[in-house]
């Protein structure tokens, strides 16, 4: 179930000596050392998140996107997303909430009379909060119970229902909640059995193809400088104390094995990424990654397709190029359309300062918000030949250097896998890493040391090969029919810091 909070007015604290228009400027608010949210707003969000519900923000403006995510992370609350109010109501009126799925809200907590009228007219659940209502959070709890018990067809089915005996209100009920730490697993036993069978089937698939299972270290002295990925790290206390990074992918270590001549290899393991949380994301997740010497992009796509058919009993994948699918759904060409045309198209997603967006940012927004939900509805869809600016560790096409031999696999609108015809040139790879470091500096993101052992392995010679990473938790969600990643994880990381 997705529960959205309108934080424009009522749910912020109302005891500050500033007019409302100043209070709504949360940047100014925070600089003065004030906490802009009511205490019971935070406590209710924590409680609902502990019970397995997604917390969303409902707002008419997305200007506070970065700030809101940082604010809630500080409180130990992971946002499922932020919904633009205007676009949501337009979608509800048109009865087309299927795309994008972010607009599928089960319960809205708002103070707007206008939205209340729309809710009654178009039949979505809402609780209207008034400034003088101190016990509004108790109404929310009761509404959630009713929605769960009623079997409302608009709700996503979850196994983490909010039972009456699981909430204990303090003697001063309007001031907050007290609750014993939740220790029970969030995944059903049958789901964990699904995972065990899935891993067994994967191992049999690769054993039949004589692909060796390997295990590489989780910790390393360097990491990939991709501006879109933030690593987690720890400190190893020894005579030469050093910061070590939890790998965001086993890719660099596995390529060192390839350079050493170990041949075709695969690995099933945990990887870690800071800030990755939501319906389909977790900061700790399981990944299947494998590499095939002698394979090119087409060969590996064929093997990924065969694996998915084996695991999911699904039809063969359709194959589309990035440029073709982009033109199909937008009428724009990702390489030839003007930047201003892409920026104008991205404006429909609630972007305020669209003219500051770079080309790749526009492409990624349009792909994720508009195109991806349509992909893989009748079986897997492979999107290949990405723009060279998004090559990452893939090589550029020899016949068209504006494209990279990179592909992604989608099913039911969800990205499952990301693969490359691997770049083997150590000079070009170092140049790409340095470009990524420069981007991180320009974005005021922290910079980290490069993995020099990986670069040394490339210099010694990486065999011609292709590799792919496939998200196992997402795959398991599709197999088990789960609506949230927590339903396939025994103990999500979020449980550890949401007290």
Picking from 40, 37, 36, 15, the residue whose alpha carbon sits closest to that of residue 27 is 36
Regarding predicted confidence, which is higher, 188 or 84? 188
DSSP 8-class letter at 492: -
Query: Listing from the earlier edge strand, what are the strands of the sheet with 381-387?
Result: 212-213, 265-272, 284-293, 465-471, 414-421, 403-411, 381-387, 318-321
Q: Is the pLDDT score of 499 beyond 80?
A: no
pLDDT of amino acid 52: 78
Pairing of strands 212-213, 79-84: unpaired
Q: Could you tell me the pTM of the whole model?
A: 0.67
pLDDT of amino acid 240: 78
Note whether 50 and 179 are within 8 A (CB). Answer: yes
Task: Kindly give, in sequence order, each residue whose CB lies less than 8 Å from that of residue 78, ignoring residues fewer than 6 positions away.
Answer: 49, 55, 72, 277, 278, 494
pLDDT of amino acid 169: 32
Q: Is the pLDDT score of 261 beyond 90?
A: yes
Q: Could you state, in order of their start, the residue ranges of all structural domains in the chain?
A: 2-178, 189-317+379-497
**Angle CA(452)–CA(245)–CA(391) in degrees, nearest 5?**
60
Same fold, 2-178 and 189-317+379-497: no
* Mean pLDDT estimate for the chain: 80
Q: Is the pLDDT score of 50 beyond 60?
A: yes
In Å, what is the CA distance from 334 to each residue of 16, 339, 375?
A: 48, 9, 17
Mean per-residue pLDDT, 275-304: 93
CATH 3.90.1490.10 given to domain 189-317+379-497: no
Q: Band of the pLDDT at 214, cuts 50, 70, 90?
A: very high
Q: Band of the pLDDT at 141, cuts 50, 70, 90?
A: confident
Q: Which residues pair with 321 in a beta bridge?
A: 384
Which three-class secondary structure string do you get for 169-232? Answer: ECCCHHHCEECCCCCCCCCCHHHHHHHHHHHHHHHHHHHHCCCEECCCCCEECCCCCCCCCECE
Pairing of strands 414-421, 403-411: antiparallel
Give the least confident one: 84-88, 105-109, 173-177.
173-177
Regarding predicted confidence, which is higher, 36 or 237? 237
Alpha-carbon distance of 234 to 257, in angstroms, equals 25
Tokens of 184: 């029970």
CATH 3.40.50.970 given to domain 2-178: no
Instruction: Give pLDDT tens digits for 451-479.
Output: 999 999 999 999 999 999 999 999 999 99
Alpha-carbon distance of 157 to 18, in angstroms, equals 43
**Terminal Cα distance for the chain, rounded:** 20
């Amino acid at each position: 179930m997705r529960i959205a909070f309108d934080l424009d007015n009522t749910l912020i604290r109302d005891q500050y000596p500033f007019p409302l228009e100043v209070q709504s400027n949360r940047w100014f608010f925070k600089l003065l050392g004030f906490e802009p949210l009511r205490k019971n707003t935070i406590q209710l969000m924590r409680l609902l998140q502990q019970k397995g519900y997604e917390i969303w923000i409902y707002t008419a403006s997305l200007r506070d996107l970065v700030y809101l995510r940082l604010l809630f992370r500080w409180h130990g609350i992971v946002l499922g997303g932020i919904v633009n109010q205007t676009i949501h109501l337009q979608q509800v009126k048109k009865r087309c909430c299927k795309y994008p799925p972010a607009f599928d809200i089960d319960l809205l907590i708002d103070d707007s009379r206008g939205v209340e009228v729309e809710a009654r007219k178009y039949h979505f659940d809402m609780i209207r909060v008034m400034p003088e209502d101190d016990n509004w959070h108790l109404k929310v709890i009761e509404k959630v119970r009713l929605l769960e018990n009623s079997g409302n067809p608009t709700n996503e089915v979850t196994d983490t229902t909010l039972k009456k005996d699981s909430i204990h209100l303090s003697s001063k009920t309007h001031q907050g909640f007290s609750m014993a730490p939740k220790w029970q697993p969030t995944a059903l036993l049958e789901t964990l059995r699904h995972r065990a069978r899935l891993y067994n089937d994967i191992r049999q698939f690769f054993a039949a193809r004589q692909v060796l299972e390997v295990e590489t270290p989780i910790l390393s002295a360097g990491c990939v400088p991709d501006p879109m990925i933030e690593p987690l790290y720890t400190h190893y206390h020894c005579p030469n104390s050093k910061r070590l990074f939890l790998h965001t992918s086993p890719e660099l270590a596995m390529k060192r094995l390839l350079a050493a001549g170990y041949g075709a290899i695969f690995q099933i393991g945990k990887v870690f990424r800071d800030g990755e949380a939501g319906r389909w994301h977790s900061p700790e997740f399981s990944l299947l990654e494998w590499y095939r010497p002698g394979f090119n992009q087409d060969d590996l796509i064929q093997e990924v397709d065969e694996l998915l058919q084996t695991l999911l009993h699904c039809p063969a994948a359709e194959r589309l190029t990035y440029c073709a699918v982009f033109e199909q759904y937008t009428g724009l060409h990702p390489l030839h359309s003007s930047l201003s045309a892409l920026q104008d198209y991205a404006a429909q997603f609630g972007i305020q300062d669209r003219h500051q967006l770079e080309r790749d940012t526009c492409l990624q927004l349009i792909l994720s918000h508009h195109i991806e939900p349509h992909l893989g509805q009748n079986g897997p869809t492979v999107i290949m030949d990405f723009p060279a600016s998004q090559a990452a560790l893939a090589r550029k096409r020899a016949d068209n250097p504006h494209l990279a031999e990179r592909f992604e696999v989608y099913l039911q609108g969800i990205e499952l896998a990301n693969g490359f015809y691997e770049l083997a040139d150590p000079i070009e790879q170092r140049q790409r890493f340095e470009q990524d470091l420069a981007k991180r500096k320009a974005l005021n993101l922290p910079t980290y040391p490069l993995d020099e052992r990986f670069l040394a392995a490339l210099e010694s010679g990486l065999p011609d090969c292709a590799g792919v990473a496939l998200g196992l938790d997402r795959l398991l969600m599709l197999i088990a029919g789960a609506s949230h990643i927590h339903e396939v994880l025994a103990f999500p990381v979020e449980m550890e810091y949401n007290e």
